[in-house]
Amino acid sequence: MSSNAFDVIVIGGGIVGAACAAECAAEKLSVAIVEARMIGGGATAAGMGHVVVMDDSEAQFALTRYSQDLWNELRDELPRDIEHDACGTIWVAVDDEEMEEVFRKQRFYSERGVAVEVLDGQALAEAEPNLRPGLVGGLRVPGDSVIYPPCAAQFFVARARARGARLFVGSAVETLTREGVRLRNGTSLSAGVVVNAAGSWSPELTPGVSVKKRKGHLVITDRYPNFLRHQLVELGYLKSAHSVTADSVAFNIQPRTTGQLLIGSSRQFEVDDSRVDVSIVTRMLARAIEYLPRLATLSALRTWTGFRAATPDKLPLIGPATVAESSSGPERPFAAGHEQLYLATGHEGLGITTSTGTAKLLVDQILNRTSAIPIPPYLPSRMAPETTARA
């Protein structure tokens, strides 16, 4: 065996790839991490960094809940630079229709053992005095937290390396080979298992993966300690999601441990240009100021964009890479000749939360173990029948 032979090659040093590498190394597998640019420098650095339980679907709930529990187990080991803040989330309701959604969410979470608290208008105003008067109420989810994701990715990589993983940074994967991968700088690495954790770049390496770029904008302010206590999210996205326009904005804001405020969010499909779109930022800030009028008096320091790796059903792809032929042919591996290609991608806006659970589910499959939660909703093979049906 050459020194470039491993049990597992993880492509992508974002938080998902980093967590997968750490988990593989913890299972005493020999691991290579290949990162084209810098650890935690893609969507991991561009995103907000919430560790939240979500309820769009049972599968989304199961994975976010499981992942949040795993984050909580890590809590005492997290370095200070990860800025873990157990601030909790408040879902904000502006009218009675949204308050109905608060009660629906309360039932959903309570039935599944997640602590939540319904706030009326007065309790909401006391919890967050900078919210505008007249809001109807909200749902507080005290178990949610916020972290600084690039440092979390570095933390996972450091754990992997402490357990013997090797890091290859600065040269992208040129192609998947029969033995493993070949990098653009000519280095060849071999492994029994290759994990494509390249986020929104994953289809470039594995054509046919159901991942599309979904652009987002964020704004961060100067330091205003105590302006906010919780992460706030509007419930109104439920209504705006029905609009036909491709571009949408929704109010989401986080207090950071520095005292800064991180303001989102926007979603755009079919946009490849990474430049800041002032019209989107303007809409996003206007939306935030509707909720927090005093935001208008504060200074923003920086505005940037990033690309989420979005799948059609809003669930990640975790498991062996398979896809249907363009006709209704038999399934085959994505990379011809490569038997052991796995995907860990398509986490959209929840990759920070679900990185920990993804790593567990991936390793369980590599080692042929039973997982703590049912894995079928996340298997890439779920996409195949849909493709076939349309053919």
Q: What is the DSSP letter of 289?
A: H
Please name the helix (run of DSSP H) or strand (run of DSSP E) that holds residue 263, with its range, or none: strand 261-269
For residues 298 and 384, which CB has a smaller minimum distance to other proteins in the complex?
298
Binding-site string for other proteins from residue 296 to residue 315, where x marks contact by CB under 8 A and - marks none: -xxx----------------
For residues 245 and 297, which CB has a smaller minimum distance to other proteins in the complex?
297
Applying the rule CB under 8 A, the residues between 213 and 252 that interact with other proteins are 222-224
For residues 71 and 227, which CB has a smaller minimum distance to other proteins in the complex?
227
Q: How many residues bind other proteins, per CB under 8 A? A: 6
- For residue 299, the tally of other CB atoms under 10 A from its CB is 8
State the minimum distance, in angstroms, from the CB of residue 217 to other proteins: 22
To the nearest 10 degrees (0 to 180), the angle between helices 351-366 and 15-26 is 40
State the minimum distance, in angstroms, from the CB of residue 259 to other proteins: 9
Identify the CA nearest to 23 among candidates 53, 67, 84. 67
For residues 226 and 243, which CB has a smaller minimum distance to other proteins in the complex?
226
Applying the rule CB under 8 A, the residues between 115 and 174 that interact with other proteins are none
For residues 302 and 369, which CB has a smaller minimum distance to other proteins in the complex?
302
For residues 112 and 223, which CB has a smaller minimum distance to other proteins in the complex?
223
For residues 210 and 221, which CB has a smaller minimum distance to other proteins in the complex?
221
Q: What is the DSSP letter of 306?
A: E
State the minimum distance, in angstroms, from the CB of residue 222 to other proteins: 4
Binding-site string for other proteins from residue 330 to residue 369, where x marks contact by CB under 8 A and - marks none: ----------------------------------------
Binding-site string for other proteins from residue 181 to residue 220, where x marks contact by CB under 8 A and - marks none: ----------------------------------------
Tell me if the bond preceding 265 is cis, omega within 30° of 0: yes
Q: How far apart are CA 211 and CA 312, in angstroms?
A: 8
Please name the helix (run of DSSP H) or strand (run of DSSP E) that holds residue 249, with its range, or none: strand 248-255
State the minimum distance, in angstroms, from the CB of residue 131 to other proteins: 17
Identify the CA nearest to 130 among candidates 224, 238, 250, 52. 224
Applying the rule CB under 8 A, the residues between 279 and 298 that interact with other proteins are 297-298
State the minimum distance, in angstroms, from the CB of residue 207 to other proteins: 47
For residues 131 and 198, which CB has a smaller minimum distance to other proteins in the complex?
131
Evaluate whether 25 touches 1 at the Cβ level (below 8 Å).
Answer: no
Backbone angles phi, psi at 218, to 5 degrees: -140, 155
Q: How far apart are CA 211 and CA 203, in angstroms?
A: 7
State the minimum distance, in angstroms, from the CB of residue 260 to other proteins: 11
Please name the helix (run of DSSP H) or strand (run of DSSP E) that holds residue 107, with its range, or none: helix 96-111
Q: Which two tokens stand for residue 206?
A: 């594995």
Evaluate whether 40 touches 46 at the Cβ level (below 8 Å).
Answer: no
For residues 224 and 334, which CB has a smaller minimum distance to other proteins in the complex?
224
Beta carbons within 8 Å of 179's beta carbon, 6+ residues apart:
188, 190, 191
Evaluate whether 49 touches 254 at the Cβ level (below 8 Å).
Answer: yes
Evaluate whether 362 touches 369 at the Cβ level (below 8 Å).
Answer: no
For residues 159 and 256, which CB has a smaller minimum distance to other proteins in the complex?
256
State the minimum distance, in angstroms, from the CB of residue 311 to other proteins: 40
Evaluate whether 141 touches 54 at the Cβ level (below 8 Å).
Answer: no
State the minimum distance, in angstroms, from the CB of residue 290 to other proteins: 19
Q: How far apart are CA 235 and CA 250, in angstroms?
A: 9
Burial, 260: exposed, middle or buried (Cβ in 10 Å; 0-12, 13-18, 19+)? buried
Strands 341-345 and 188-196, how do they pair? parallel
Per CB under 8 A, residues contacting other proteins are: 222-224, 297-299
